[in-house]
């Protein structure tokens, strides 16, 4: 049987997405499909990275992927009907990456998604990095500890200029050193491109990007991203190496919770590498709970940057 691989047209998109993510609970499925459709309608998503496999006109598999500003391709592990191999998608995915001059492919797998990991690793040449743990804090549960001594200052960007952006990029770069949160990914793209990716993801507000200071010295960053409806995301936080292990991460998280309260959001979201035990402990100690988990696989297509600025 000949498997035909093609990109869906606009009229097929919703049905194709339902096939790709049909393993999700219905409420999560609707949210994900609506989010992707909105990206497509706004011009942020191209059908070029979405592939469907058909036999005699019947859909038997789907691969969803998209190019990000940092030249990485974010993909989901392909979904295939029983009896068919996800390997059918590896060549068209590689061709897509070549056309876009991508530097890496990051493939995510949802909990409960059934696929042959051996084929992904051996034939697709991906490597398993870790699990990504998604965490949520219900802002209505916020309680302030009067015994907590605040030592840090949080200076918002407030305005967006090239000089301020460069200063933020330098500081983020410093916090990357010897990170325990997906260290394999930290050198695949320059920091500026990564930050532009953060900006393009949802609603970017410069006042939600903070220089974290102690005694008027920059020691870390807190990047938050507003999202539609009732939630806000702690997108990234980091400290320079010499300031880690001193309890400052808890103070940064507490400040993020405060910002979520000020903005009257009900949910504060974040995610962390399962192997970053210290970060997980920090979030859990501050009232976060895990609500989702994804496997993260990577295929590096070009040499990593030695200097990720």
pLDDT of residue 142 exceeding 60? no
Per residue in 7-47, pLDDT (tens digit) is: 999 999 999 999 999 999 999 999 899 989 988 998 888 99
Per residue in 80-102, pLDDT (tens digit) is: 998 899 999 999 999 999 999 99
Name which of 39, 76, 41, 65 is nearest 201 in CA terms.
39
pLDDT for 146 equals 52
Per residue in 235-247, pLDDT (tens digit) is: 999 999 999 999 9
Among 141-155, 191-205, 242-256, the range of highest mean pLDDT: 242-256
Give the mean model confidence (pLDDT) for residues 191-212. Answer: 79
Percent of the chain at pLDDT exceeding 70: 93
Same-domain status, 283 and 147: yes
pLDDT for 158 equals 80
Give the mean model confidence (pLDDT) for residues 208-223. Answer: 96
- Residue 26 included in any domain: yes
Same-domain status, 144 and 253: yes
Same-domain status, 165 and 288: yes
- Residue 141 included in any domain: yes
Same-domain status, 235 and 159: yes
Same-domain status, 244 and 266: yes
Which of these three, 125, 155, 177, is where a domain ends? 125
Same-domain status, 12 and 96: yes
- The C-alpha atoms of residue 210 and residue 9 are separated, in whole angstroms, by 42
- Residue 131 included in any domain: no
Same-domain status, 266 and 142: yes
At residue 136 the predicted structure's pLDDT band, cuts being 50, 70 and 90, is very high
Looking at every residue in the chain, the average pLDDT score rounds to: 90
pLDDT for 70 equals 81
Q: Which two tokens stand for residue 212?
A: 């974290």
Same-domain status, 30 and 104: yes
298 close to 185: Cβ distance less than 8 angstroms:
yes
CATH code for position 149: 3.40.630.30
189 close to 305: Cβ distance less than 8 angstroms:
yes
- The C-alpha atoms of residue 195 and residue 171 are separated, in whole angstroms, by 12
Q: Which two tokens stand for residue 304?
A: 């990593």
Provide the number of structural domains found in the chain. 2
Same-domain status, 289 and 148: yes
Q: What are the residue ranges of helices labelled H in the chain?
A: 13-20, 26-41, 90-100, 117-122, 162-176, 191-201, 248-262, 277-285
Same-domain status, 57 and 152: no
Report the Cα–Cα distance between both ends of the chain, in Å, rounded. 49
3-class secondary-structure state, position 238 = strand
Query: 232: domain range?
Result: 137-293
């Amino acid at each position: 049987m000949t498997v035909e691989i093609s990109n869906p047209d606009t009229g097929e998109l919703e049905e194709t997405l339902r096939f790709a993510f049909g393993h999700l609970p219905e409420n999560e499925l609707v949210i994900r499909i609506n989010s992707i459709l909105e990206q497509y309608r706004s011009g942020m998503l191209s059908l070029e990275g979405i592939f469907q496999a058909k036999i005699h006109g019947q859909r038997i598999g789907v691969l969803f992927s998209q190019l990000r500003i940092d030249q990485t391709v974010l993909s989901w592990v392909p979904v295939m009907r029983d009896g068919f191999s996800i390997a059918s998608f590896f060549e068209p995915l590689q061709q897509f990456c070549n056309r876009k001059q991508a530097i890496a492919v990051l493939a995510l797998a949802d909990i409960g998604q059934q696929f042959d990991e051996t084929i992904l690793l051996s034939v697709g040449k991906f490597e398993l990095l870790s699990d990504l743990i998604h965490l949520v804090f219900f802002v209505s549960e916020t309680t302030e500890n009067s015994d907590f001594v605040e030592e840090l200052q949080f200076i918002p960007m407030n305005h967006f200029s090239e000089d301020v952006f460069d200063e933020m990029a330098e500081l983020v770069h410093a916090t990357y050193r010897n990170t325990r949160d997906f260290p394999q990914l930290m050198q695949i793209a320059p920091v500026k491109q990564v930050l532009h990716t953060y900006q393009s993801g949802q609603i970017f507000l410069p006042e939600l990007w903070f220089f974290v200071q102690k005694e008027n010295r920059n020691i870390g960053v807190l990047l938050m991203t507003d999202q539609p409806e009732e939630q806000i995301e702690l997108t990234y936080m980091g400290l320079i190496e010499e300031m880690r292990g001193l309890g400052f991460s808890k103070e940064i998280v507490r400040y993020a919770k405060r910002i979520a309260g000020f903005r009257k959001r009900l949910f504060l979201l974040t995610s962390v590498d399962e192997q970053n035990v210290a970060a997980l402990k920090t979030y859990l100690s501050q009232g976060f709970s895990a609500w989702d988990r994804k496997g993260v696989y990577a295929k590096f297509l070009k040499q990593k940057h030695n200097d990720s600025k």
